């Protein structure tokens, strides 16, 4: 996850999140009804990769888009390649919200602070 913040606490925030992967801890918390697996698969999450087994959401956050549609122009192919379904866009939003919540009070690795947290950035101090 790469985070870019461009404001002081309590002000408008320019937040850019670049998704690298969807953590298993996120995908395992998504309700089954939101990511129904294919008929021949029981689990909603692949145990090895943490990816959803649901065809439309497999690969989150790296979706292939709906590329080509028979167009022979590079511009049309480029635009269509990036097109995502409403379900895919919503799941990306849920992942972003989950990441902010998980990092609200900071991120630590082996007791060392790696990120001070969104609370420090986004909450006004009185």
Q: Which of 35, 73, 84 is nearest to 55 (CA)?
A: 35
Q: For tokens 């009804």, what's the residue?
A: 33
**Cα 109–chain centre separation:** 21
Q: What is the pTM of this model?
A: 0.69
Distance CA 49, CA 13 (A): 33
Average of per-residue pLDDT across 82-110? 88
pLDDT in tens, 60-78: 888 765 543 455 566 665 5
Q: Phi first, then psi: what are they for 41, rounded to 5°?
A: -125, 135
């Amino acid at each position: 996850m790469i985070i870019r913040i461009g404001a002081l606490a309590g002000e408008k925030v320019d937040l850019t999140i670049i998704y690298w992967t969807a953590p298993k801890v996120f995908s395992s918390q998504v309700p089954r009804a939101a990511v129904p697996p294919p008929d021949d698969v029981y689990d909603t999450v692949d145990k090895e990769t943490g990816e959803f087994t649901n065809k439309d959401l497999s690969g989150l956050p790296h979706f292939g888009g709906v590329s080509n549609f028979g167009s022979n122009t590079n511009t049309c192919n480029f635009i269509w390649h990036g097109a995502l379904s409403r379900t895919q866009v919503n799941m990306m939003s849920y992942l972003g919200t989950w990441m902010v919540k998980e990092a609200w009070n900071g991120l630590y690795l082996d007791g060392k602070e790696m990120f001070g947290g969104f609370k420090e950035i986004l909450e006004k101090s009185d």
